[in-house]
Structure 1
Amino acid sequence: MPGYSPEQFDPNFIRLANRPFAMEVFLRLQPKLSFPRVYQQVLKDLQDAFVARTAIVNEGFAACPNRTCPEGTAAFENWSTPSRDDKILQMIRLATNFIVTPLSEAESGALRDIWNAEQKKVYVSFDGRDYTFKQLNYIWAAGLYSSDPNDAPDLRWALNPDAFSARLQARLRAR
């Protein structure tokens, strides 16, 4: 039968306990795959996504002065970032899940080392201050960011404590 491989049904097909089937197939197709190198690329793509968001947030705020881009307008759709923000969140989840994927002890250790080093790495700068992956990871995991182009950049990033506090107070008053 074309496309059928009895090997995939072999009880010993998965060589490392608890390794996902799809990962085992991938390793069979690319046996010299370096998971640390793949992981570094995932994290680089994540940083690139944050950098790209920086420009869009700044341009969006300039395009929507004094909250002139109400929801539902073309300007709001052009400058809001919900899809981009969700993609960043999915990339963070991928990066987080990657480090708990069953790999060899050496590969798992290398991924943990990369993850720990990445926490301290500056991903974006805003108002003359640097923000690390650890800070942005927390902001995204907690859903503290804003996708609304009418919000000032410090609110969009939830990086300015005073601005963030004002946003929370406004949300509470609106309830």
Structure 2
Amino acid sequence: MEHPTLFEPGEPVLERVREICARFPEAVEVESWGRPTFRAGKKIFVVAGAMMDRPLSIVFKPDPEERPALLELPGVFVPPYFGPSGWLAIDVGDDADTDWAFVAELVDTSYRQVALKRQRVALDAQAGDARDAGDARDAKAEQHERGERSARPAVSSGTGGTSRSRAR
């Protein structure tokens, strides 16, 4: 027996969840049980739609230490099937009540719980690149506000400086 499809094509909440999940290295979307699942390789890190009567929700794997505190929050609940293994679910919607930054943090934690080491390394590198780009933008904006000319970027030939691989 085939599971009924939980979401209509173009559902705005699902599109938002897809946006968040697509940012993770090697993340893929696979439909299972009539709902989209998001996986790090073969391992699920998010299921869209915890149950038929609560479709606007996601199932995620929390950090075990954070689980008790998360259960105290409104909209967080233990989902059927996944709950006994420590997973939680949270209601999400396209209204102003959904804190999408918080949802993204939950998805990040869930991804890290199931991802392979190489996937976590890639995620950390991706976060570092974004942080470095943000720092550079912030510094350039501060310079502009002070009316300073931006310094010419340093060009490295690759031969200067010190290297850890160099013989001592």
- The normalised TM-score by structure 2 is 0.22
Between 1 and 2, higher relative CO (CA 8 Å, sep ≥ 6) is seen in 1
More strand by share: 2
- The normalised TM-score by structure 1 is 0.22
More helix by share: 1
